[in-house]
Structures are given as C-alpha cells and as structure tokens.
Structure 1
Amino acid sequence: MEYNKPDALVLTGNLAENWRVFREAFEIYIEAAGLTSASNKRQVAIFLNLVGKEGLERYNTLKFENAEDNKKIEQVLNAFQDYCKPKKNILHSRYIFYKRSQKENESIEEFLSACRGLIKDCEFKSHEEILRDKIVLDTRDGETRDKLIKQADVTLETAIDTLRIAEIQRRELNQMKEIGEKQNEVNAVHSKVRGGKRTNQAQHHYTQNNGNNGHRGQCQTNQRQAKGYNQQEESQQVVKNKGNFSVNNKKTNNNCNRSDKLCKYCNFMHGKGKCPAYGKKCLKCNKFNHFQNVCKSEIAFVENVDGLSIDNYFCSTVYTMNTFAVSWSETILVENKSINFKLDTGSDVNLLTLNDFNLIKNNCSFKNLVVNRRPINLQAYGGSNINTYFTVDLKVKLREKEYILNFVIVENHCKPILGLHSCIQLGLINKVENVDKILSLNDVLQNYCTVFTGLGNFPDEYSIQLKPNAIPVTNVPHRVPINIQDKLKCELDRLVSEKIIREINEPTEWVNRLVIVEKKNGSMRLCLDPRDLNENIIHEYCVIPTLSDLSSKLKNARVFSVFDLKDGFWQIKLDLESSKLCTFGTMFGTFCFNRLPFGINNAAEICQKWNMKVFGGIENVFIYLDDILVFGDTEAQHDCALKQVLDLAMKNNIKFNKNKIQYKVDKVNYLGHTFSYEGMKPDSDRIKSIFEYEVPKTIKYLQRFLGMVNYVGNFIPNLAMLTKPLRDLLKKNNEFVWTSIHNESVNKLKTLIASPSVLRNYDNTKDVIIQTDSSKFAIGCVLLQEGRPVCFKSKSLSETEINYGQVDKEFLHVTVQTDHLPLISLMKKNINDIPSKRLQCIKVKLSRYDINLIHVPGKKMFIADALSRACISSRDNDDVDIDVSDVVHSINMSTNIRNEFVQETIKDDLLKQLVYVCKNGWPKHNNKVSRELKPYFNMRYQISFEDDLLFLNNRVFVPMKLQNKIVFKLHETHLGICKTKTRARSLFYWKGLDKDIEEYIGNCAVCNKFRSENIKDPMICQEVPNLPFEKVACDILDYGKDTYLVLVDYYSGWLELNYLSSKTSSHIIKILKVIFSIHGIPKQLVADNMPFNSNEFQNFATDWEFVITTSSPRYPKSNGLAEKGVSIAKSILKRSDEGKVDKQLMLLEYRNSAIIGSKFSPAQLLMSRTLRSKIPILNNALQPTDLLTKTWKPGKIINKYNTPRSYVFSDDTGNNKRRNIVHLRPAGKQLRYNLYKDNNIVSKPSWIRKRRVVPPTKLNL
C-alpha cells in the first residue's frame, strides 16, 4: 500500500516550525509504512530521500561526535533538531506569554490553546497554576473574572469550566436577543402639533406587515389585550416604571409565541420560567432576581404630564433595511454613550430606541431626568402608526461641544435618527445657497475642520545627520521643582499618548537635558537643551526669505491671510536613529522625541524647507518658517491660492492654529511690519516707544534718541540732514546748549516717525530709479518705482570720510552686540548652568541661531540703548506667547507667608543692600563692595530680585527675623539632620543655614528621645601578649541541658572545654584552679559579668594574683575571643554528638591543628611540640623545639614615623629600620647605660616571637 510521503523540508522562513511539521510527518510515515524495525542505515537513507535537496546538502555539512553517528537515525534527527530550532530566549518567551490577552470575538478555547502553545517555551516550573492565572486575569469576561477571583481554591479545570459556561450563556442570550430585534428604520419624520382632546389609547405594541397590504413596511397598530389592564393603565404603567423602560410587547401574529416578550427582570425574550436573572444578584443594589441594566434603584425620574394637547407626527416612508449610507450617518456621544444616528434632513424630530435609552440610563449617573408623557401620535407613510413611549431631553457631545437635544423614545425596530434642526444645530449639515459663494472664516473652519484639529504629520521622516567625528555626550538630568513635578508627569503622559515622545528602555549614546517652558495659559512646553548635539549636527542650509523678497511679491496684492502651523516643529517626524539622538532624561524615566524638538539649531531651516516642499509651488503664497502668507490681487485669486493651501494641508495631514489666523484682511501684520496694497510700513506697535520718547536733555539721552531715529531710517527721507543740528551737539569741542533749533529738529523727526512714509512693495518687472544727493556733511539716496519710494538710505560723514571719494562696505557676518559683559560668559555656559529660568528660556530661543556675541560699551549702543530706556509702560500680551517657569514658582507660599517675607525683606538691613545692588548693578570690583556684601560678590550673577523677593538661583533669601520660624517649619515633621538640610538647601538660603539646622535638631527633645543607636565604635584590636597563658578569655557555654566552661589563651589560641555541674562561682573556681595548676596563673582574665564579678571570684583573683576584666553589660561583643571560643566549642560538641566521636579526642585534634593565618598549632605555641594523637606522627615532632630562632637585639630610636605606632630605629650595625611598637620593648638599665646615652630600646624583627629563655632585664610580675 502506498502512503503519502511528507513534503521536502523547507530551510527558509520559520525554520523551527518547518522542521517540527516535517519531523512529525516523517515519523508518521515511518510508523505507517512499518519501517520502525528497519535498520538505522535504511531509516537514514529514507530520511535523506524525503528531506529534499536542501536538507541533503545541509546533512553533508553537519558535524557528529562520532563517525558512525551519521548512520543512526536518532542522531541525525537530533542534529537537524539542533540546527533548525533556535536557542530559546526564555525572557522573551515569557514576555510574549504575559502580553497575550484574549482578543475580541476569541473563544475561551482558542485563547486557552494559544496560551498552551506560548507557555511551552517559557520553562515554568508549574504550568497549571500559571495557565489558570493567565486565563482568569486576561479574559475579556470581566464579570466571570470577578466571580472567580472571589472564590477560594480555584483550579485550572474549574476556571476553564466556568469560563466555558459563561461564554455559552452569553452566546445563547445574544441569540435570543437577536430573535426579538427588528430591522425596520424610520425616515423623514415630520411633526405637526394639533389641539384636541387627550386620547386614552397609548399605542405601545405593534405588528410588522412585510408589505402584503400594498404599502412598503407599513406599520399597523393593534390594541393590546392584557389580563386585568386596559390600554391607558398599561401605558401609565410603562412610563411610571422608574427604573425599567422595557415593554412587554405581545404580538397578535399567529406565528408568534405568546411567551416571547422582553422580560422586565433581564431585558431579554425567553420562555416562561427560563429567566437568566433568577437567583442572580444585581451589581447596583445587591438584591436578587434581576440584572443591573434593569435595576430601578439608582435613577429617579420626574414625570412632566401635559394634558392640553396631543403631538401628531407623520412618516413619509417607513421601510426595512440592514444598512444605511455611511456618508449620511454620524456617531455622537449621548450621555457619554456612543450611538450612530441617521442624518435625516426631512425629519423635524429626533428618534431614539428604547433599548438605546436603557443602555444610556444604565451607563450614566444622572439623578433627575425629566420625562414628558404627553401623548404622541407617530404615523408612517399611508397612515400607519408607530408606537412611542415618551420624550426626554438628553445631553449630547460632538467635536468637543455639548448640546441639549430632545428625543422621542420609540420601539426597538427603528433606527436612531437626527432631524433637520438638530443636524443644523450640531453643524452636520450646511445650507448652500450658491455654489460659487466665497466662504467665510467659519466656513473654512467647518469645511476644513480636520486641518485645524489634532497634531499634524508631514508625509516624510527627517534624518539628523552627524559629523563623522562626533563624540556622543550623555548628560545627567537636572532636578525639577516639586510643585511642577505633577504637571511635568501629566505633560509627559500627554506627549506619550499623542506619540510626540516615547519612553525608551534601551541605552542610548546621546542623552540631552530637558528644559521646561511654561506658556502663558499655564501649560508646559518641553524643549531640549541639545548644546552638545548641536555642535555635531551637519547644518542643513536653506535660504530664509527676507523682507525684500516679501516686498517684491506683494506688489499688487489687496487681500491677505496668514496661517500659522500648530506646533510646527512637532509636525516633522524623525526616523528611528534621529529619535534616539533626541533622548532626554527625567525623574520619571528616559524618553526620546518622535518629532522634531525645539532646540535643534537647524530646526528653522528644516521647517522652511519642508513647508516649501509642500506649499512652495503655489502661486500667491509666501512662506517664512511656520507662517504662511496667502495673498491675491483679487479675492478670487486669493481664494484660489487659499483652497490649494488648505487642500494640500488636508492631503498631507498638516495642521494650522485656528487661534492665530488673519483672514481676508486688507492690511496684514507680518514679520514686524504692516503690508497692504499701498506698500510696507513699520508696525505701529514697534514705533510707539520711539514716538513717545522725551526731549533729550543730556548728551547720553541725545545719543539714544539719534540711535532710535536710525531704527526707522529706511522710512524717513533725508535723515542725515534732519539730524545734523542734533549731531553737532555731540562733538567734543561743542558745548551742549539746547535751543529752539534743536526742538524744531526733534519735533520734525517725531512727526515723520509718527507718520512714516509707506514704502512701495518692490516690483522687479518695473523700472528702478535711484536718486542720490549729497551735502558737505551727509549723503542720502532713495529707491523709486513709478515715482514712489521703495527704500530710503542716509549716512552722515565723519571728518575723515568727507574726503573719501567712495566708501566700500562688506557685510561679513551677523554680530550681536551687548553692553552687558556678563552675557558673554552666560552665552558660553550650558543651559542648566544658567541660574535664571528666564535666561534659560531665552537661551533656548536663541539656540537655533549661530550667534557671535561681542561687547560694546553702552554709549555706542545707540538704538538698543535708547529703546531700552525709552520704553513705554503698556505691553501687548500677544507679543510673548510663553513665559518661563520662573523661580518664584519653585516655592509655593500662602499669601500671608509671602506678605510676611516681603515685609521682613524690606526691613532686613542686609537684604535691603542686596536688593539695591540687584536693581542698580553691582560694583565692578570687590574692594568697592561693603563689608556685609563681600561674601555675596562672587555669587552676584546668581542673585536676582523677583516679585519683591530675593533669590539665589532657585532659593529664596530668608530675612533674619524669619530664620528661626523657617527652621521650625522645616523640622516640624522631625526629619533627620541630613534630610532637613537637603530640603532647606533646595528652597531657602541664609548664611549659616546648615549650622542653625544642626543646632536646632540637636536640641530637639522629640528627636533626642527617639534617636537611633549610636554608630558602632571601630573595633579595638587586642594586643597579643608576649607569653603563653599571660592573658586568657573565659565564658560559659550552654549546650542542650549541659553547661561548659570555655577558656581560650590569647597567645596560642589554646582551647579548654570543661563540664560544669553548676554555674556557681565556687564550682567555676575549682575548674579554673585545675587549669591554672597545669598552665600557670595568667596575669589577666577577660570574662563577662556574672558570675565573674562576684565577691567570691574577686577574692579568688586577689589570692591567686591575677586581674579580672569584665565586658560591658549587654555588650558581649567586647569579649570577642571568648565568644569565638564558645562558637568553636559548640561546633565541636555538635559534631561529637552527631558523629559519635569523643569530644576530648576532637579537642586534642583541634589543639594539634594550625591556626588559620599561622603555620603553628595551639599546642606548638603553648608547649613547643605537637601532642600525640591517634594519627601517626614522627618522633621529632613530639619533642619540644625552639620554633623562633631569632633573639632580641639592641637598637636606638631615631624618630617616630608618620604612620600610627611606627618608629624608625638604628640597630647595632648602624642600619636604619622601621618597626611597629609591637616589635619594640624597653631595654634594661645596664644595657641602656653601656650602649647608649638616651632613648635606648631593644628591637626585634616583626616576624619574630621571642621563645628562648634569657636572663630577664625586667622582672615579670
């Protein structure tokens, strides 16, 4: 019999899956063909025959451990398995598993099967529990999930069965619901109000005629025959049912089951006694036998019964359909519930089905809903009636605007409808009278609403190019004031949700700092400080147009409009690599910009280039960065260009700011000038401060005035001659005397400034005339077209220039001049090193320009110096669209505390001086500063006076009178010294702040009472005695029910372990006497207190002439050697009991074993020999030996070394050596007298311990 052979193995695509399928097919084929008993060689041959050409080639390259393995089928399969199956990344597999959740319309079986497949690669220890948690927590059935969580001991099988049953019930209920739904839709409803008597027939029930009576979908009304109720009573019963508007619709159709009706307990149709709500608890009121969607407990309705008239409504057509045109529908939020409405311009009323109303009612929290039960007759085409229940006013929301609309609640077989009046009110339908009518601004905003909403996105992505030798820089994020941290978090979340930025969890080479800018409306703008990045970006050059370029384009323009791109830079998307370059760090994580951020130095050129790419081909359009000027000689020409701009914006998903539109004006403010058909002139707001300048009374004021006049020199003809009398006053040899001539000159200049000449827009198609004139003292010229000026130029001549024949000028580069020297250093600083937030904001604005900042004395800064001192008080808020998050915002004060700070700052002598120098400027040199201000001179650039408060960077100066109060406030919660000082340093400043806080907290009674334990003292190293058993440590060991005395020798480490039948002093003394009789009496015994501090023990120490040193109470660590001995002894006892070994034998081996860190054992150090044990040993090891052969040598101390306890000495050979005090001892009197005259000692090398018996030089007592 021929069997199906598996397809050849495919070695491309998902290799692991291809191999799994092939191997299963191959094993099935071998089994089916009866080849399992065949030899390995034959099975391998069959495998290679089936695996295909690619598989055979791969087989020839595989390596096997043994040469014969390539003929064994199991080895060949395993080799292919290793080749095809990739190495598992368990973390990645678990991530995929945890991220998997039940998809919409996915059954529990499908979800469970997917989870079982994913968990195979996760290598969990227990699959059952994790699978149970997964399907319970990630199911889309929230009610069943909550039910399972509340149960105890839920197994995987229980969870699967419960979810299956819930899924089946939900599916069956949906099927029953679909049986009762009808597909009819009511269109074109007209209303007509008639007076008349109130009818007692409330038509709440219907039968559907499918067209057999000649009318398409004609509705027929039927009288309800209900047991014990008349129609009026049932109508009232339905409306007065406060929590449930479901109606028991009984059908008279013979084919219908009488029991099929909408149940008031579950809102579904079912047979008698089969209500799914029976026995179930409501989630609203916690009562039984009904569902949440029909619960009556929450919403109270107020009925409005009007018995004066009956409203009659007529339907032009009633027909059945399954779908309707999408273009004539709109999804609207009705009480926060999305409902899709049919837009019907032929209807005067709005229709809403009863089911939709019940869903709205269950999903919202309104308390008093006004229901109008006024009788309503709704008739379809042909006169058939449609059942209605009541009318109600509901709140709807569309395009961020809210409205109140009236709805007629009808039967469920109808479609929701919005009538004509509501469509117009919501702006869904516009009345078009003339197709050729020119649209107004409202029409533009409405027809192109998508262009003015949301965030735009240019079609392409931008890639930031770096220089080849760019070195990445990672900047640490700076701290953010506490009071704006929440706002920053919200702004970051908003930008992440809008996909302007994204959180990044991988390391990046470039990390920039973040600058927070606060707009005037209180919102934030996040900007980068890419100072290091900007230095390495390859600049993208694009020609930015000038006023001359604009003037030449507007030669005949009469109609103007200006559109500003909304968040223009953010509409340019970055590619992945460029996005990583724009990474910044915050306290909430690391993020990177997906869009072009503010701060990139060539962002302006990029914006200009991309706007030119989209809009540059349109006639009558001028683009300057993100401002687009649309103009035209006629309105039709303007509208043609406008339509192209808006169409291209819509096509390319570019958004404009509707709040900054200048629409169809005859004069437009653009780039600081006013443009019209007549030409160009300076913006009146720009020259207002110049016109209101006072009459100059000194040379400096005159210099400023003349500089100010030169600012508008392009608009004033013959300027040099007009200013000649004024310039003469500035000559050094002339006395400054103000006369009427000078007044006349000033007044004439002001008159010309107040009404400057309108410069004609330059037209490159017309002839140009340049008129020049010269005098002895000045030269001037004017550019004319058709007799009208395009530009004025004038220049006064110096004494030397009068003799010039021609003056050549060359404009090399743009230079910014300032008379404030500190700005030079500030411009070179990093943004976050600049103290003032306001200066940081200005630095961000200037970051896109390549500025050469130079210092020029103020007397030579004619224009800027004059304008800065002659400004008027009024200010247009529109000139500044953003304000920096100022330092004042960093300290959130109540009004009372702030007023107290302001008052005390004024009274404080030191702060008054600081305020004065902040306002009037610091002296140039430290020696000119008062003694009180000298400590602040070096930090003068960080001190500022803002909002009547004095600041050092972001810290407010605290007047002396309030310092104690601030310290009390800071320590009110009794934080520690470090935390309190850290908190204070971020908010306040005064000299001696840290010292005051330390002193206050040091005297705080509460803190002293609950102060933490003292820091542990450093360990005191015990001095090693010179002789064995000179100093011993002793302690008592409790082991089980037994008690032992432990004694350890400080010199040798010899351990004594003796059983105690009693802990009394007398018994311990008996044991010690035996030990001392063997090893000798020590000089010092170190022990704990009890019982070694008893009188009996003290008497024993006195009689035997040794000293007892006891440790501090409750601090046994001070007797460290004894504690270590106890630990060793306890270990010996445990091992002895467990191993059934004599503990005395174990003690013997311990004493014979070398101490860690030494090559000698306790027995060798104490007895100069090894003790005989059960272990074989040479005889010479059992003989006493002098282990330390070195002897003491005489020497003389030269001086003390610079390290602790270290001395330099000279030995008897004259060599200088250094030794520790441990290796030195005083010499005898005779030796000192014979060898040296002063400061004699005997020294031994550091590695020697003296063991030989020598005649003592000092008696050891």
Structure 2
Amino acid sequence: MANALPHFPPFKIREDELSAGTRWKKWFQKFENLITAFDITDENRKKTLFVHYGGDEIFDLVDTFPAAKTSTYAALKTELESYFTPKVNTTFESFKLRKMKQLSSENVDQFHVRLRAQAALCSFADADREILAQMIEGVTSSKLRKKALRDRITLSQFLSEARNEELTEAQTREIEKTDQACAITRSNKANTNKRSEKQNTPITSKAKQDSGRMCRNCGRIYPHPQSKPCQAKGKTCMACKKPNHFAKVCRSKPKAANVRQVEENESSDEDVFSIKSNKKVPTATIQLDDHPVSCIVDTGASVNILTKETFTKLKKKPVLRPRSTAIFGYNSDQRLTVLGCFTTTVKHRQKNTTAKFFVVDGNSSSNNLLSGDTSEKLGLIKYLNQVNVPTDLYSGFGKIKDLKIKLHIDDQVPPKAQAHRHIPYHTRKDVEREIKRLEEADIIESVEGPTPWVSPIVIVPKKTGGVRLCVDMREANKAIKRERHPMPTIDDMIHDLNGAKFFSRIDLQQAFHQLELDQDSRFITTFSTHIGLRRFKRLMFGVNAAPEMFQQALGSILHDIEGVTHYIDDIIVHGKTKSEHDASLKKTLDRLQEKGAKLNKEKCIFGVQQLSFLGHTFGRNSISPEPQKVKAIANIAPPTSVSELRSFLGMTQFVSRYIEGYATITEPLRTLTRKSETWKWEKKQGNAFAELKRKLTNVGVMAYFDPRKATEIMVDASPHGLGAMLIQEGRVVSYASRSLTGVESRYSQTEREM
C-alpha cells in the first residue's frame, strides 16, 4: 500500500519565512487529508510518513527537538505547531478589534466577517456579544446605531436590520438616480438667486472698509443680519495668526494670502473661498480606507472636499450618495458640480475618525480640503502653549550622567541558565533589526564566554510596526533584592497638587533605559536570541526592583525644585500662578538637560490648566475621574463569570472615592465573588451593576483637601457597609466606604454606627 501513496510536496521553511506559520498550517491540513484518504491509522506509520513527506528541512528541524517531544505522532505534531505558530497576544488582538470600523467599500456582512475573524484571535468568552458591541460602534449608519442602542437586540437581529436598511438604500438610489440632477437644481434655485443678489458687490483682496458696505472682519456685507452674525468671530487669520478676522481682509499682510474656507449658512448652500497666491498652505497626507490622499488643512472649513480626479484613484471606491448641497466659489454665483458624498474612515498616523466627504468636479488633487473639525479629530490641529524647550532634549538617546544603578543579587539563589525559546521565522528579521537598534543606542551588548544567568525573550508586536523585545526575568528576579523605596500614592499626588492652577507633564523617552547599569549588575540581564547572547547595559523593564530604583534616582535629581512631583517617569510641574509654574518648569528642563536626559515630545504637555494623570483629572480647584476611565466603565457589558465580575469591581474600586455609598451598592456583586456562592446573575445584581455605572457617569467634581479649612466628616452605616464623606466649606473632598464582614453585618444598627 505504501507504493500506492501519491507524490506529496515537501514543506520548505526558507521559501518565505514571513509566511511560514500560515503555510505550515495549510500544508499540515493537506497531509492529514492524505493519510485520512488512505486510511492510515497506525501512529508509528503516521509519524514516519510525516517526517518523510516533510522534506529535508523538516527532518533537520525535528532532529534538534528533545526525544521526549518526538516520541509519538501527537507529540511531534504539537511541537511543530508550537514552533511555527506565533504566540498570539490576546490583549493586543482585542485592541485591534476595538479599532475596527466599517469601510465605505464594504457592506455590513463583510464588516461582520472581518470582526468574526479578528474575534477568533481574542479568546472572548462571548464572541457574539463583543462583535455586536463593536458593530454598533463601527457601522457607518447612524440610524442603525441609534436603533441598536434604543432596542436591546441580538447580533442576528442587528445583521437582519442592517441588511434590510442596505437593501432599502440601494432601491432608493435606483429610483432617485434619474431625477437626481433635477432634484438638486430645484432644491437650490431660490438660494442661488438670493446669493447672487447679496454678493453683487465685488470684493477686492485689500482689507479696506467699503464705506459701511463691507465688514472689516469677514469681508461680507455690513451690517450683518441678526440671524447670521459675523462669520469671522472666533476664527484665526491664516495670514497673521490673529483672531476674529479672515486673511482676505487682513490689515497686516502685504499681499493677498492663500485662504481656503468652507462655511455653512442657513440654507443648504456651502461657500468655498479660494484666493490664490504663492504663499505656502499647510497640507497633510491622510488615509482614506488605506489609500493615501493629500489634503489642505483648513481650520475654518466646515466640510471635507475631494476632487473627482482623486476620487477615481481610490482603490476601493465608495458608493456616492446624492445630496442637494450646493458649493459655490468665493464671490461667485457659479455653483460647483457636486457629484455626491460618502462617509468613510479617515486615518492619520495612529488616529482615525469617521468623516463625510463631498466629491466635486475637478482635475487637481491640490484642491482636496480637510475641514477644521476632521483635522482636530486626527490630531492635525492642536492648541499649544508656547514653551521654549531646548531642542537637544528631544534629540538622540539619553543617558543620565553621574548615576549608575547597582542591582543587589542574593548569592543564596542558584543561577539558572534557561533553555533558548525558538523565535518564529516570520519575526526574525524584525528581531534582528531591533537588536541592532539597541546595540547602536548603547543599550545592550554582546556576551562572550560562559554566563551563569540566561533568560529567554518574548516577542511583542508594536502598534507602529516592528517588535519589542521583552526579557522573561521571572527566574532572575528571584535573586534580585528589591529596594523598598516608598512609591507615591494618589493621595500624595492630590496633596502635592493642591492649590495649583497651571500644570505641565514631562515624559522621559524610554525612561528606564536612560539609567546605566553598574558593570557588576549586567550579567543577570543576559538573554538568548537566535543570533547569540546579549545583555543590558541600562536598566530595563521586567526587573522587579526597577520602578522603585527609578523613582529614587529621579527623585535625587529633582528633589530641590519647588513645584515638581513625579511618579516613576512622569514628571508633573505645577504652580499657583503662571510665573510660578514657568519658573519651576524652566528649572526642571535645565536640570534634565544638564543631566543628559531626553524627553518624549509626543507625550509632553506644557502650561495647561487641567491635566489627566493616573486616572484622575486635576483642575484649578477640583479633581475628577478621567473621562476615558469613566467611558470605559460605562461601556462594559454585564459580566458573565466571576473573573469578569472581579475585573469590573477592580476598575470601579479605583474611582470609588467619587461614589457615595460604594460598599452598599456593590454588596450584591461582591456576594457573587465568594467561593461559597454559585454563579447566578439575578435582578438584584443587574440593578446594582446599572446603579454603579449610573453613579459613576453622573459623578461631580471633588475639592482638594485644605488643612487650613474647617473639616466635617459625615458617617453612616447600612446592613452591608460603612460610609463616610469628608466635607470642607460645603464641598465634598472625598467619599470612603468599606463592606462589613459576616460577623459585623450581624451587629445592631446602633453598634454599626458607633
């Protein structure tokens, strides 16, 4: 029978290392189909054929495995699957799922298929629930989203509603197609005539007041009607950057400047202003469904414009929907041809949003326009306070001077050189590039000769591409003695920031790597890669003592500067006045520059009056939970297991200081976490879950504690918990509560309140 077996292609590992995992899965499925078709059931024979058909590369690879892992067909299969299949980071895959939006080129069913494939990598306990939640957030139809939020529906019901809506939309477009041009003309005829009359007076590029006929701020007819005030109010001039006027009437500019602005008025018309000159305008390259498009960034524009030429070049052309909106050139009653509009996902770097684009007839891609609202959502527009930061603080890689970190090693713990973990072939090039980068930055070095400690590495993909090398220090940490340096608590931070009205946050670039390791402390950081052993020359993530050591080291640098506090690598500069804050900020930046530290420009914030930090938002006179934390908790679905419930309670405990009666509200939920209780989600748990989220989403702001003010403490007791409220001058400073033990809950009400 062996002679009757057909030819079967061997598996070539090096053919394409990046796709080795995917190709292996497909090849192995074909092999199992072969042995099933020929009714081969003997385990030894299956193993022999497996190695034979695998080819020379598989044979050589299997020869390197321990004998115990190749003794049976099942064991060999498991070992090879582990070798070729890259480790899946479920947290990262879940993050990717949360970012997924419906593309303009796909229908809801196609969006569902993409979500289903991604959810398979996330190990969700209830995949349908997670997919439904993301579909509600990610669909382009706001009508469908509103219906799903209003009515509690299942995933199948949601898909059915979506299909019906898409079918209705398609039928409506077909019916309206022949009448579209006439409909647009009829809907705008009156507005076009009115506009022609209003704009009959020519407008020059000079900023001269036309004897009461022209507004000196916006260039339109003056006085303005009460229903339509000056359009320039609150806008910034593109010529002189000063507020409350447009560049076309700017009195500071020597000549006509580039102005491109789209404005909405009471009618359905849209004005597009375009005054040409040689002055350079700000542009940005955005991604429309992964297709790069260059646009002019206009802070005054209210709609997004795409030319026909650009639209035809899109890889996935979205369906254009008819619209009666008319777009006019500046100072003209000549209406531009609007071909239609579409809604799509827009991306710039790591930010994305959903935006509507109007497609107009035109052959120049330089006339694509990005509105102010969309630009702000994509992070292209920011309102910054001017701070003179030395440029060298942002360049290069930092190493703090005159400071070396010594790890204290316990000699009683025997060294352990762990076995090398195979690195998947498709990631090896990325790993080699990262190793080279770290060597060039003087962060790691090659290891020669024998070494008592060797740790394996874990490869983690970065959001921006490439990989991050994480050393598994669990065994080595058993020998590293921790320095019990006190870490600041949130109460310490609140006390330090009390009375501050101006804030800055300074973030150090790869902070731990800026501290050099003592020569005698480097050997324990040795790790293995497929190109040899390396070890760290700088402090690294994964070392159990790293946070405390870094906290102490940075404290020794900044301890004598007033108005500065820090938590590990985040430095907070604060002051009661702008001048006080600026003085502390300058001293801090000068000290960091002197010590050779480097900053992360993207994460630094300067001179704001409200700052989010450690899950809390600190303002001039109050603190509150960070809005993103509140939103995350508010969007959590009811838990389906004890572990999910514990995670939810852990998140809410973090903000319990803002919730009155927290212990009493959560009592039905905490009951389910006891080992003696059987999981049963009932109405009382549902009510407690909803009440807790309601309390959190409606929470007010808290005052800072001031030791100079009169303080009141109000206390109360319930059958399930104790509560307290700290008040100063009628404002709540903090809530506190704790649950009662079984014995305490049997006390009388009088005893509980004593």
- TM-score normalised according to structure 2 size: 0.43
| Structure exhibiting the larger radius of gyration computed from Cα positions | 1
The structure whose RCO (Cα within 8 Å, separation 6+) is larger is: 2
